[in-house]
Amino acid sequence: MSRELELLLFLLALRASGEVVAGSAEAAAAAAAWPGLQVGFYHAKCPVAEDVVLGEMRMILEEDPTLAPSLLRMHYHDCFVQGCDGSIMLRSRSGKGERDATPNRSMRGYDAINRIKARLETVCSLTVSCADIIAMAARDAVYLSKGPWYDVETGRRDGDVSVAEYAENDLAPPDSNIVDVKTFFSVKSLNAKDIAVLFGCHSIGTSHCGAFQKRLYNFTGRMDQDPSLDAGYAAKLKKLCPPGHGHDHDHDGHGGAGGAAKVPMDPGSGFTFDLSYYRHVLATGGLFQSDGSLRDDPVTRGYVEKLANASSSSEYFADFAAAMVKMGRTDVLTGDLGAVRPTCDSLVD
């Protein structure tokens, strides 16, 4: 039986017993635990687990606040590649692991996860999985960036396979249009609303110029600029990202001087998890074509317009919590599947 069918039957049973009394099917699905996952999975086995993660995250971000967005991004990159199984942390001597894939070359925060894991091993040895540490760290990164606190489900176990090619195939590139984005996300059971909500993660953090420079200097191969990008915003980006090597093909900013500089993804509000990302996308077309693509679908555009004009972030925060919980269920290993590794960054070859 598929997981979706199992969940549906579970929800119908709850509905019949009167325990789910109100709300949309979406909210009810988010409220019900996923098979094998639960809020507070470590309460009995390691009651301090979530406190330890939050405590370490406070110290880590005090030392380097730029790691908050990186650790949020890590959860997305972990979940989309063979499920949320901690495999992004594994290292490959031959340079063929997930870490080595193009979209992960700019990933940061591996040492932070190792540090949290080492601390947890001293209090509850071989108990808390790396996949769950990444999920908790992402939640705490959002919370410590003035975003919402939400209950994070735990109970994931770690995988031991890490293949660069899977990451290349499963993570959408920043020059994706809305049809591409919807395809990449629907494979992970995430719909148009989830896309519009999760893209709000780009409210915090930075990008290397190389990820979007093509939009500025060589959009169609004729040294032109992306016409969907606001001219004033493009001019500012050009100052921050002078033409450099590798800007037309290296979508992760490792091509050379021009491509290696960094810019905030949500200018003026790059450390605060808020609604300004939506105002930015609506007004300028956003930093990446994939951000701007939210304007090209009725559902995603409607959501962007609603949030760009919202007077409070409460609706967004509730939607964000539900979408993160949903993403955090992607192809998880639970129960007897996978393992709890003693270290997160083991070698696969």
> Considering beta carbons, is residue 163 or 211 the nearer one to ligand HEM?
211
Non-local (6+) Cβ contacts of 61 within 8 A are 67, 68, 141, 144
* Smallest separation, CB 16 to ligand HEM (Å): 34
Please give the structure tokens belonging to residue 247: 């800007």
Q: Establish whether 85 is an annotated binding residue.
A: yes
Q: Establish whether 81 is an annotated binding residue.
A: yes
> Considering beta carbons, is residue 174 or 255 the nearer one to ligand HEM?
174
> Considering beta carbons, is residue 89 or 204 the nearer one to ligand HEM?
204
Residue of closest CB approach to ligand HEM: 205
> Considering beta carbons, is residue 262 or 306 the nearer one to ligand HEM?
262
* Smallest separation, CB 133 to ligand HEM (Å): 16
Q: Establish whether 274 is an annotated binding residue.
A: yes
* Smallest separation, CB 173 to ligand HEM (Å): 6
| Residues at the contact surface with ligand HEM, assessed by CB under 6 A | 69-70, 72-73, 76, 106, 108, 172-174, 176, 181, 198, 201-202, 204-208, 211, 252-253, 288, 290
* Smallest separation, CB 288 to ligand HEM (Å): 6
Whether 77 is catalytic: yes
> Buried (b) or exposed (e) across 293-332, using 16+ Cβ within 10 A?
bbbebeebbebbeebbeeeebeebbebbbbbbbbbbbbeb
- Of 77, 247, 251, 280, catalytic: 77
Q: What distance in Å separates the CA atoms of residue 314 and residue 176, rounded to the nearest whole number?
A: 29
Read out DSSP for 200-254? GGGGS-EEEGGGTHHHHH-SSSSS---TTS-HHHHHHHHHHS---TTTTT-TTS-
Q: What angle do CA 242, 278, 149 make, to 5 degrees?
A: 110
* Smallest separation, CB 259 to ligand HEM (Å): 9
Read out DSSP for 102-136? GGGTT---HHHHHHHHHHHHHHSTTTS-HHHHHHH
Residue 284, phi then psi, degrees to nearest 5 = -120, -15
Please give the structure tokens belonging to residue 232: 């004033």
What residue numbers does the annotated binding site for Ca(2+) cover? 78, 81, 83, 85, 87, 98, 266, 274
What are the catalytic residues? Answer: 77
* Binding-site residues from annotation: 78, 81, 83, 85, 87, 98, 202, 266, 274
> What residues are designated binding site for heme b?
202
